[in-house]
Structure 1
Amino acid sequence: MKLYVTRFFIALIATMLCNCADSKMKNDTVVSYPEELTQLHENVLNYYLQDKPEQQTVDHLLSILQEDGSWKTIDYTTKIKSEWPVKNHLKYLQTLAISYNTKSSKLYKDKTLSKKIHKSLDYWLKHDFLSANWHDQHIGVPKFLLPTLLLMESELTKTQLDKGIVLANRAKIKMSGQNKVWLATNVLLKSLLLRDAETVAKASKAIQEELKVAKNVGIKSDWSYHEHGAQLQFGNYGLWYLENMIQCYAFVNDTPFQFEKHKIAVLRNYVLEGQQWIHWNNSYDVNALGRHLYKDEQQKKAARLKVCLEQMKQLDKAFSEEYDKALDTKMLSGNKHFWKSDFHVHRRKNFYFSVKMSSQRVVGTESVNSENIQGYYMGDGVALLAVNNKAYQNVFPFWDWKKLPGTTILQDTEKLPIIKFRDFKTNGEFVGGVTNGENGIAVMDYDRDGVKAKKSWFMFDDAIVCLGSDISSDKNAEITSAINQSFLKGNVVVSKAGNIQKAVHKQKNADLDWVLHDSIGYFFPKNQKANLATNILVGSWNNVAERYRPILLTEHIFKLWLSHGAKPKNASYSYILVPNASEEKMKSLYKSNPFKIVNTKVQQSVVSSDEKKAGIVFYKKGTATIKGGISVDAPCVILLEEKSDYLDFAISDPSQKLTKIGVSIKGNYSIENSKYINGKTHFIIHLPQEEQVGKTVQLQLKRN
């Protein structure tokens, strides 16, 4: 009996001690950190407290918070992989924790709010909700849980802290690219919470290891970003990477774990030489969104990028002027080819154009977590022109995904296959571009699913000349080259043999001089048989990404395309995109064609009417008549521009296989290691290798 009583009192005392420990949240104990972690702890808290949530948002979250700590708007049983909705519980909880700890908040240290935060935290810790996506357990849950634990640390019970650490322990430093950065950031925050300075240092080092020009996934030598193989990922992993890196930069700044200077330089270059290029007029390039073709996503990603620029301006103070310029998204003007990503951008203050290609080297797109489920052709030369920041915004439910702007595609009746990551490359080898910084040429020797075409885009100032030749297919279905698909805005004006027709709604295989719609002109140098439709179409976001409900929508859509018929042999096309066009401008183009064009299966070239600008795509070694005669001994792309005292000469190898190219040009020019023989200057171009392979070589040919 005495033994029983003794055991009873021991258990009672243990229970009282446990309850005392678990009631710590009522006492609001003072949190202290060792000296080497004090600044890091302060930085982390300041980072999360810098953006005070709107009181309206907090009030709404409290209105839908239930007695048991769950939110009535969340289905906790769902297994949706894409943007797992259950994770919103932790996002909402973090918002309340920030409001509770923000001194300017009306709910600062409010006892009622504190109880609700702890109730909601306990609800998650008790149930430990698991998604069908590994990412959520290892990355997403710790990412949103750890900041709340740090913000509420002074009130946490031992049980809450222990359970929270168990969930956070699922994040380990492993993998590469952005996944590694996410995981290491979670480890850093967890280690801070545990006062483990040694592991904090390891996590900071692991994060900085990804601040480099990577041979595999990560930042590339042209300042694009790859993930899931050699695939352009500016808008999803690449933007997350930027946000996460800046976050970690802010965390460790002025601490023993701070970023090294040369690592900060990599981050700076990625912002200014990479991300900045695809952000125009507060809109993010559709071609850079990757699989994230969501509602309002162009504007959302643009807003996120602007936040990154503002943060870099504060952290990287020596370059604040550069970030200020980048924040004025129309200021950047020029032409850039991303040779590691088969991606080309041409932009001016009043328009933005890009073309996204793919090859045997570069993956075109992906469909993961039931996203981008119609995007089978999104890497097949999609060419998009914007003259305002609403271009293509939310058009995706209404797109004909076999007539994407810029593409040459088989019009069969088969359902589009779903592409997994690393699963999509075309058979093309000669894919790339050349640039002199102001103008450029993109080229794609297209070969996919039995359709072949030689496609090029000559970007000269405020015009884009689009050429296609040697179009062939053995498939018994129509082949089309799409020019554009967008929302119908205002009247469509067309010209036939100089006769102008307004408010046109349909044209079928019509000989057109030009088309004008929504301030974009489409000029046909040779009367092209074109098709035009402005139908009311039915669409659904659910056809784009399964995360959306299958609700049907209707919109008027403008669609312009060319037909090459079934089983074409050596078909071709030529048209010119004219941004910020007017009826008068299109009439002027019709009267005086601004370019001389060659469009064959061995060579495509464009020369401006004043002959000051010219470009040549050599699909085989040979000679072009431009500038009196230019010969090359291997396939390449050349861009020429007359300057006052020299000829600007830019050349690249889209195949990325050559080490050198022999060139001869009529006239006597001063070039290192050149020879002047029989009225021609002969010289050898040594091409960039390794991580620079495919990059433009630019020379100044001075006349003797």
Structure 2
Amino acid sequence: MLWPTPDQLNATLAQAIGNLSTLDPKTCQWPDLNYSTRGPENWDPVLHMFRISTMTAALTVPGGRENDTVLLWAVHCALRVWIEQDWQNPNWWWNYIQDPLIATGIMLMLGVERMSSEEINAIITMSYRANWWIKDWGGGANLVWELQVQLYRGLATSNYSAVAQGFEVMWNTVQIQNLSTWGVQTDWSYHFHGPQILTGAYGDAWATNILHFHLATRGTQYALSQDRIDIFGRFLTEGDAWFTMGSVWTWGILGRVIDRGVHVWYTHLFPSDQLRALAMDVSSAYTAFALLDYADRLEHRHEARPLVGNRHFYTSDFQVHRRGNWTAALKMHSFRTIATECDNNENLNGEHIGDGVLNLYTRDAQYGSGEEYENIFALLDWKTINGITVEADTPLVRCNRGKLAMLNTTFVGGVSDGHYGTAIMDTAAHNLMAKRTWHFYDDFIIALANGIEDNTTALLQTTVASRLLPPADTAAVCIVIVYTIAGKFLFALLEKHREKLNCQEAYSKHMTEVTKVTPKLLAYIQYNVTSAILIFSTKKDNTKVADVIIGSMLYNYRVFVISTGSKYRHYEIVSKDMETSNMLHMLCYDCKDGPNTGAKLIFRAVYKLFGLANLAMCVDLIHEEIKAKFRWLNHKIGIIEGEKDLVVTKKDKALDNNKRPSTTDCNPVMNTNDKMIENENEARKLMPNNNIAHTHPIKINSNKETLHQRAAATKGKLLFKSAICR
């Protein structure tokens, strides 16, 4: 506020003496200041007023330099120059808020009895520039600053009606505002300049003033009401405290003031002793303890209770996740919110500040000083700030009249149960679109991206971390994941590589299992079906015996087939649908008078135990005669084995019923040219050595349709496959 606290007194006195020693007694100006500057933010002439204020505080504070006539002369000399020059800035804020605030503060500290009428009238005139009754400031910091001017003027001139009015209007800002009004929101975030979260900027200034004036008016007729005290306490503990790491703000809620250097980084405007005093005034014990803990953390006291949990600030598209030794802060934006601004030539590179920026604090996150990002902003590549996905080579959009052109989406938000949380954001920037999610847990964060689209050949990149290495003044590190639109997101590429390895491992084990069972199965099948003479031998097994023997041989293989689905989720062994099984049942079980009855009973046993797909795998590895028989079966049920003919075509479906083979006639065989083959030896000639319909090749990057896709597009048609990588 105006006068220094006891612990600030010595520093204030030293600064005042320093200002006095450097003041030019002839011009009453300071030679080190450039009075011609007109910068919207860094404006030297205002430092002239700040130095007068410091000298006035040293002159009037108890224990200061009350009787220092030289210091008093210097105050009047420098003040006269300011009144004569009345320096103005193109930025209205200096002229309407900051200058009147400093001037009325000087008048209040010095006292009108020690001032000339010229000085008093000039300051009163200047103070009316802060005309809050004309502007509609809502519940924002600008209103409180202008009310502060009125309070100083009223107190200095003993205009107590002005004082009463000032406090009444000021206290009205201590309430939960609707979304269209600047100030405290329903989720305890703070909006300013529209639906923009600025808790650590304008919100900091507002809360600091409310805290100071509440403590100053306790026990007076101007005191803050109890219900508003409780609202303010909850705002600090359920809002501000969540955005604070030790004694610093997370920089996602600072807005454009990140351009101003390290002094805006700290929450030093919240004196911990004042938070403890507020804790004595709130009616909720829970809020009181939370205020005490907050004060302790601001003082870096490690014995303080840490703030742990998850909170989604839904009006601001912001989520904070806190654990005992680390904190994450996620900043998003949507059509409902404003990500940032670039007024006064500040924050000119902030285009991506709201594009899913995920700031991670791991160095004493509960009690520290935020060294990961301290003064980092001049070092950052603003296309590689934490967590964003962008086109690497696309230039940043420049500021246009205080605004940054951003693409807003509607599907942005999050949920939280108070301990864990999830956030979702449809991201849009330039030509890039992506669907992104973040999932916050006890020891880790899962960040996912899907549906990444870009209609250019731009190089895309996602930044995992961009922060200072310890110690804080050494260097900045940036970890970036780069990917191209042609290859898709790198995470997707890694997943596909993992799928390929998954398939290869499963395929290797699959072949091992098949190799184990093949010799016995091959010998048995050859013994029973490959020789016409042996088929009619009385020593051959009948259907019932064959079922039992083959089932025994393939039991272990069956166990492997069943377990494969859970162990290797990218490797499938697919069974046939009911229609095919019914047809196979008719062809292989009910054709009692057809040829090769012995072969049919073997197929029956294998199919019954494993299904058509596994029957195909077994047949793939045995004698050519058996392959020919299987092909004959496939043609009979309408399954064509060529890669282009995995499904029955409409042409096949349209065959005249008179020409279609009977389901009780097992002799004819249909080839890919729709010619009838009466002999299975001819079918054997058409049979390729490597039947691609049986074993789908393990090719991850193939542009051809997968069997899954073909199956989905051919409802009611017959197809089969054995083992594939999906």
Q: Same fold (TM over 0.5)?
A: yes
Cα distance, 1:392–1:47 mapped onto 2, change above 3 Å:
closer
1:472 alignment partner AA: E
Q: Is the 8 A contact 1:364 1:424 kept in 2?
A: no
- Looking at structure 2, the residues matched to 334 and 298 of structure 1 have their Cα atoms a distance apart, in angstroms, of 28
SS in 1 for 2:281: helix
**What's 2:567 paired with?**
none
CA distance in 2, matches of 1:88, 1:167: 17
Cα pair distance change 1:403/1:71, threshold 3 Å: same
More helix by share: 2
Alignment correspondent of 1:123: 81
Deviations 1:483-541 (A, max 9, x none): 11123449xxxxxxxxxxxxxxxxxxxxxxxxxxx9xxxxxxxxxxxxxxxxxxxxxxx
Question: Does the Cα contact within 8 Å between 1:346 and 1:439 map onto a contact in 2?
Answer: yes
Q: Distance in 2 between matches of 1:186 and 1:438?
A: 43
- Paired-residue identity, %: 25
Decide which of 457, 474, 479 is 2:438's aligned counterpart: 457
Task: State the shift of 1:103 in Å.
Answer: 2.5
In structure 2, what is the Cα distance between the partners aligned to 1:276 and 1:103?
Answer: 34
Q: Could you tell me which residue of structure 2 aligns to residue 324 of structure 1? A: 292
SS at match of 1:446: strand
Aligned partner of 2:352 among 357, 377, 382? 377
Q: Which residue of 2 aligns with 1:203?
A: 166
Give the Cα separation in 2 of the matches to 1:573 and 1:413: 23
**1: CA distance, partners of 2:70 / 2:16:** 13
Q: Could you tell me how far apart the structure 2 residues matched to 1:179 and 1:86 are? A: 21
| Structure whose CA Rg is larger | 2
Alpha-carbon offset, residue 139 of structure 1: 0.5
2:416 is the alignment partner of 1:435: yes
Structure 2: tracts of 5 or more residues without a match = 283-287, 364-369, 495-726
Please state if 1:343 is matched with 2:318.
yes
Instruction: Quote the residue 1:314 is aligned against.
Output: 277
After TM superposition, the structure 1 = structure 2 runs for residues 270-669 of structure 1, keeping only pairs within 5 Å, are 270-294=235-259, 297=262, 300-305=265-270, 307=271, 309-319=272-282, 321-329=289-297, 331-388=306-363, 389-418=370-399, 421=402, 425-489=406-470, 556-566=475-485, 572=491
Letter in 2 for 1:350: N
Pick from 76, 88, 97 the counterpart of residue 35 of structure 2: 76
Match of residue 221 from structure 2: 256
Q: Quick one: distance in 2 between partners of 1:411 and 1:206?
A: 49
SS at match of 1:80: coil
Q: Distance in 2 between matches of 1:378 and 1:476?
A: 24
Offset of residue 419 of structure 1 = 5.4
Q: Is the 8 A contact 1:452 1:471 kept in 2?
A: yes
CA contact (8 A) 2:342 2:403 kept: no
Kindly state the Cα deviation for residue 129 of structure 1 after the two structures are TM-superposed.
Answer: 1.1
TM-score between the two structures when normalised by the length of structure 1: 0.63
Conserved? CA contact 1:471–1:568, under 8 Å: no
CA distance in 2, matches of 1:249, 1:373: 37
Secondary structure at 1:302 match in 2: coil
Q: 2:185 matched to 1:220?
A: yes
The letter for the 2-side match of 1:563 is: V
Question: Does the Cα contact within 8 Å between 1:470 and 1:570 map onto a contact in 2?
Answer: no
CA distance in 2, matches of 1:125, 1:172: 20
Between 1:260-269 and 1:157-166, the stretch displaced more is 260-269
Distance 1:45 1:356 in 2: 35
Deviation of 1:169 after TM superposition, in Å, equals 1.4
SS of the equivalent of 1:277 reads: helix
Amino acid at match of 1:175: D
Structure 2 distance, partners of 1:574, 1:223, is 41
1:80-105 CA-partner distances (Å, limit 9, x unpaired): 00143321112111111111112322
Q: 1:52 aligns with which of 5, 9, 16?
A: 9
What is the TM-score normalised by the length of structure 2?
0.61
Change in Cα spacing, 1:447 to 1:413, as seen in structure 2 (3 Å) is closer
Higher normalized strand content (fraction of residues): 1
Letter of the aligned partner of 1:326 in structure 2?
A: Y
Deviation at 1:206, TM superposition (A): 1.5
Contact 1:344 1:356 in 2 (8 A): yes
Residue type of the alignment partner of 2:83: L
Residues 397 and 405 in structure 2, CA contact (< 8 A), matched pair in contact too? no
Measured against aligned partners, the alpha-carbon deviations of 1:90-139 in whole angstroms (never above 9, x if no partner) come to: 2111111111112322x222111111111111111111111111111110
Summarize deviations over 1:610-663 as a string: whole Å, max 9, x none.
Answer: xxxxxxxxxxxxxxxxxxxxxxxxxxxxxxxxxxxxxxxxxxxxxxxxxxxxxx
Identify the residue that residue 99 of structure 2 maps to in structure 1. 141
Structure 1 residue 175 displacement after superposition: 2.5
Alignment: residue pair count? 468
How far apart are the structure 1 equivalents of 2:429 and 2:275?
A: 42
Kept in 2, the 8 Å contact 1:286–1:298? The answer is no
Q: RCO higher in 1 or 2 (8 Å CA, sep ≥ 6)? A: 1
1:23 counterpart residue number: none
- Code of the residue aligned with 1:135 in structure 2: it is W
2:58 equivalent in structure 1: 99
Q: CA deviation at 1:47?
A: 7.8
Q: Deviations over 1:145-193 (max 9, x none)?
A: 1111111113111111111111111111233211111111111221222
Structure 1's 49 and 369: CA in aligned 2 closer, same or farther, altered over 3 A?
farther
Q: Distance in 2 between matches of 1:338 and 1:411?
A: 30
User: Counterpart in 2 of 1:667?
Assistant: none
Counterpart contact for 1:363–1:422, Cα < 8 Å? no
- Consecutive unaligned residues of structure 1, counting only runs of 5 or more, are 1-43, 491-517, 519-553, 576-704
* Counterpart residue number, 1:169: 128
